[in-house]
Amino acid sequence: MKTDSLFYRLFQRAPALVFELAGLEAPAVGAYQFRAEEIKQTAFRLDGLLIPPPEQPDAPVVLVEVQAWPDPEFYGRFFAELLLYLYRNQPPHPWRAVVIYPTRAEERLNARHYGSLVGLPEVRRVYLEDFRDRPVTGAGVGLIQLIVSEPENSLTQATQLLQQAHTASWIDWSPAQLADFVETILVYKLPKLSRKEIQTMLGLINTDLKQTRFYQEVFTEGRQEGRQEGRQEGRQEGRQEESVQLALRLLRRRFGAPLISTHEQQIRRLSLEQAEALIEALLDFRTPDDLGAWLASQETPPI
């Protein structure tokens, strides 16, 4: 997952998907936290770690790694990270390790050194190509299939997934959340198309987002404040204020906390075009640091 934030976001949103892919029993997965963790005094970083709550000592700690390219040294580093984590942290839980490849072609196994280790019952190797033709039993599997789909089939597959979401009982996924992930996956898979072009070709995404209560509340509030400002300061400034207010509300909801004051001040200084670009870009933000990097790239006026 060092190169693909899609999996990080997906497993953060749906930790049960890791267990489903690996064929493991999922003990109270709703209580799991998915995070990255650095091992002190080393250069190792665990990019995907599912941590169960302390009151469930029998639930496993799960180390997750997505390896998207061939690397002959991967398993040496992977097992070194795993064992060093267990040594340093002494978790009160059992452990599992899940390695995820797009296809078998990416795997490079030095069987002489690591063959017996990958054969341990605690270790599972997952090849996403095996899920391409499986029935879609949930939003997570549908998104995995979209990630590994051929680019020429991606738009059709994405449309079918969004349509299926209306009739399937995927209670823990709202239309807006699913549309967010689908759109982000397509941006990665179809880099020659802009986000607006993808939205237009799919058609369903804008409709789904705008029909959600969350979007309607945020957008309505933003328009009302923007119109008030517009009456006082003129139409152009009103549109700029409307976009800024919408961006601020979406960001607060996305991060679940107030924004850093310097970030908020920078956002309020954005032009209309920049504010509209931020509304599109924030769908890809995972942390306030992502927002900070985006603002820095805009060369906003100093505060």
- Please state, as a whole number, how many other Cβ atoms lie within 10 Å of the Cβ of residue 25: 9
Tokens read off for 182: 């689908």
Considering 116, 131, 146, which residue would you say is the last residue of a domain?
131
What pLDDT, on the 0 to 100 scale, is given for residue 196? 67
Which residue segment(s) compose the domain that 191 sits in? 135-211
Extract the tokens encoding 250.
């979406």
CB contact at 8 A, 63 and 98: yes
Whether residues 31 and 86 share a domain: the answer is yes
110 contacts 117 by C-beta, under 8 angstroms: no
CA distance 254 to 273: 21
| Distance (Å, whole) CA 239 – CA 247 | 12
Is 15 in the same domain as 125? yes
Whether 229 and 200 share a structural domain:
no
pLDDT in tens, 205-253: 444 444 444 444 445 544 554 455 444 544 556 678 888 888 888 788 7
Report how far residue 173's alpha carbon sits from residue 143's, in angstroms, rounded to the nearest whole number: 12
Q: Would you say residue 272 lies in a domain?
A: yes
CA distances, 213 to each of 39, 76, 159, 175 (Å): 42, 48, 22, 11
Domain boundary (167, 184, 211) is at 211
In this prediction, residue 167 has a pLDDT band, given cuts at 50, 70 and 90, of low
What is the share, in percent, of the chain residues with pLDDT greater than 70? Answer: 72
302: in domain: no
| Overall pTM surpassing 0.85 (yes/no) | no
Whether 112 and 205 map to the same domain: the answer is no
My answer on whether 106 and 89 are in the same domain is yes
Query: Which tens digits make up the pLDDT trace of 140-155?
Result: 888 888 888 888 888 8
CA atoms within 13 A on the CB side of 55: 2
> What's 38's domain CATH number?
3.40.1350
What is the pLDDT confidence band of residue 169, given thresholds at 50, 70 and 90?
A: low
**Where among 211, 240, 270 does a domain terminate?**
211
Give the model confidence (pLDDT) of 60-111 as tens digits.
Answer: 999 999 888 899 999 998 999 899 889 888 888 999 999 999 899 999 999 9
**93 and 34 assigned to the same domain:** yes
Whether residue 60 lies inside any domain: the answer is yes
Q: Which of 21, 93, 105, 19 is nearest to 60 (CA)?
A: 93
Q: At what angle do helices 74-89 and 111-118 cross, to 10 degrees?
A: 50
Number of domains comprising the chain:
3
Mean predicted lDDT score pLDDT of the chain? 77
CB 114 within 8 A of CB 156: no
Q: Are 1 and 97 in the same domain?
A: yes
Same domain, 11 and 104: yes
| Residues 140 and 127 grouped into a single domain | no
Residues 174 and 206 grouped into a single domain: yes
Q: In sequence order, what are the beta bridge partners of 65?
A: 99
Q: Which pLDDT score, from 0 to 100, does residue 256 have?
A: 67
| 303 occurs within a structural domain | no
Query: Do 167 and 57 have their domain in common?
Result: no
Whole-number pLDDT of residue 212: 42
| Residue 106 and residue 66 share a domain | yes
Question: Rounded to an integer, what is the distance from CA 291 to the centroid of its chain?
Answer: 15
